Chain A
């Protein structure tokens, strides 16, 4: 008697453990991983709000085949450890259909193996490290790889005659990978100054003092966050160095002007176009009560990532393999950031680069940059 009760209890417990995503009225769970706290939180905030906006719009229009999307949010804190446990929770406990994230490359690279082994599609709206290319079959991104961006930069340096590059790198996955790619593309012999500092360092005075004795014609502040980049630029200009400076995505932030003022004036940025800026997307974004913390383009990439995923689920259902195959097969998706598709590695194809410059406190477009 007792044994049979026990047996039925065990049986009940076992059935309770099964994923309950079979009912058609249940919400479709989508995970989000990004830095919601910490120094990189502006990126997390922007991509999260972009994600949230897309999800709310889809739900307001009746969801996907009548099923609402439920967003499960995890803080990746811009590091691998937190992102990995976030990915584990999302796949093992929440059984999400897909994940939007991570944002920092370190997050994505740590979460990727977990998503891959759980066969869960993951789309990163912001990770640009070249390593993400090989992160796995289920790993996509709608943000271009730095392998392309550094190639564009090397070409730009060659065209403009910049022969001596001074580089200070913050020791994070994104910035270090960028440093390696840049060194490879530009040529090691052209990097005349190359120092790597601990993440979050804000005292660059002594490195700048050494830069004074170095002959260089372009400075590259390779920081992970605009707070650190502002400190680099301020302290460079403080000591009277007037060489041209050029930077990447991180520098494409109006906050830099607020922080460093004149010190960033004239600085060049090579990055994806400021997608969504001044358009319908920005209006919707602001009407929803959000304000860009770093860049509206980050929100736009996240917005597109959710929508392309929703389209995949709409056509292919909630089966991961079917979603993955659908994403690989997309010919051209018309998003806020442009018309794009994914290559055989899950890397985005079709996002162009532009050269921008800080002029009187504004970031203005100078010209398009072709990669090929």
Chain B
């Protein structure tokens, strides 16, 4: 049971990141390699508001997400918008540059030492045999609500249909009166906000260091590819599944009572993904493309 709780905690973080990625890559088709850095921006800004300026936690989180949204927007206008329609690979270069700039800026502004948003003692409860803190329960619940509402909006409402329409054919959608450019901006900013949530999650549950950016992006890509890039629900689900496999891999004895060495934790999960993709190359939850 504790293993499932552990997986839920790890999975929630992965789901936020993968959700951000699913929006920006899965929906918009833009590679954003600075997503991990945007997560750090959200986390560090929240830390700054809460610990340096002494604002209450809730206001700091909202403020952190708001500022992260603004910075994501600026990023979009400066390095994505001028390029992404010309060639889909151009943003790879521009966002790598941005990620390096962010890395340097974070190092400059927030120094090298690690930071923790919430350093006070956490309060524990035992739920069905698993020990978990209230803070973690709240984080898990909020994450679920947040990603589920994004997924619902995207797949089951008229706004979502419009978004998907602009992605399929931006000009055609515009001619039908859908403000494609604005929707693209909103999706991109939403992806930054989701990533920012991930950063805050790390800042509360673990601690923030200026180098986290890249590794968390990689795991998000794994979840996205395994889930099928056109299915937001699938991506989220796979983020949790990868987390669960990672915990099971090292938490349960496999071969005659011996454990898989902890160093292979993420390898096991990624191997599983490879196996899945061999069977279903377009991703576990990918729909067949509808051809008109």
Contact = CB atoms under 8 A, between A and B. Distances in A.
A369 interface: no
Could you say which of A201, A203, A238, A262 has the most chain B C-beta atoms within 10 Å of its C-beta?
Answer: A203
A210 B250 CA distance: 9
Interface stretch (A192-200, A278-286, A304-312): A192-200
Contacts of A168: 262
Interface stretch (B118-126, B146-154, B182-190): B118-126
Interface string B104-116: 0001000111111
A210 B131 contact: no
B206 A293 contact: no
Given A205-B247, A206-B251, A39 B211 contact: yes
Interface in A185-234: 195-198, 200-203, 205-207, 209-210, 212, 225-227, 230-231, 234
Interface in B61-87: none
Contacts of B170: none
Contacts of B247: 205-206
A38 B211 contact: yes
A344 B263 CA distance: 37
Given A37-B107, A171-B263, A258-B116, A238 B131 contact: yes
Contact of A207 (B206, B262, B266): B262
A44 interface: yes
A239 interface: yes
B56 interface: no
Contacts, number: 109
Contacts of B263: 171, 196-198
Contacts of A38: 210-211
Contacts of B206: 202-203, 230-231, 234
B262 A200 contact: no
Contact of A41 (B6, B210, B215): B210
A259 B112 contact: no
A45 interface: yes
Contacts of A207: 250-251, 262
A227 B207 contact: yes
A293 B131 contact: no
B2 interface: yes
B107 A294 contact: no
Contacts of B202: 202
B112 A240 contact: no
Contacts of A44: 112
B131 A240 contact: yes
B209 interface: yes
B15 to A, nearest CB: 14
A80 interface: no
A41 B131 contact: no
B207 A198 contact: no
B177 interface: no
B251 A227 contact: no
B112 A196 contact: no
Contacts of B124: 238, 240
B262 A39 contact: no
B282 interface: no
Given A198-B266, A230-B207, A238-B133, A209 B114 contact: no
B259 interface: yes
A209 B113 contact: no
Contact of A238 (B122, B259, B265): B122
A207 B262 CA distance: 8
B165 interface: no
A76 to B, nearest CB: 14
Contacts of A318: none
Contacts of B266: 198
A66 interface: no
A196 B10 CA distance: 19
A223 to B, nearest CB: 11
Contacts of A206: 3, 6, 246-247, 250-251
Interface string B197-221: 0000010001101111001000000
A259 B207 contact: yes
Given A239-B131, A240-B124, A196 B261 contact: yes
A44 to B, nearest CB: 7
B41 interface: no
Interface in B241-263: 246-247, 250-251, 259, 261-263
A260 B205 CA distance: 10
A258 B119 contact: yes
A73 interface: no
Given A41-B107, A240-B131, A293-B113, A227 B6 contact: no
A262 B116 CA distance: 13
Interface of B: 2-3, 5-6, 9-10, 103, 107, 111-116, 119-122, 124, 131, 133, 202, 206-207, 209-212, 215, 246-247, 250-251, 259, 261-263, 265-266
27 contacts: A37-B107, A38-B210, A38-B211, A39-B209, A41-B107, A44-B112, A45-B111, A195-B261, A195-B262, A196-B263, A198-B266, A201-B262, A202-B202, A206-B3, A210-B251, A210-B259, A226-B113, A230-B116, A231-B207, A238-B133, A239-B131, A240-B131, A255-B113, A259-B116, A259-B207, A261-B120, A294-B113
Given A37-B103, A231-B206, 10 more contacts: A198-B263, A202-B207, A203-B9, A203-B10, A206-B246, A226-B114, A227-B114, A227-B207, A259-B115, A293-B112
Closest 6 CB pairs of A and B: A41-B112, A227-B114, A205-B6, A206-B251, A195-B262, A202-B206
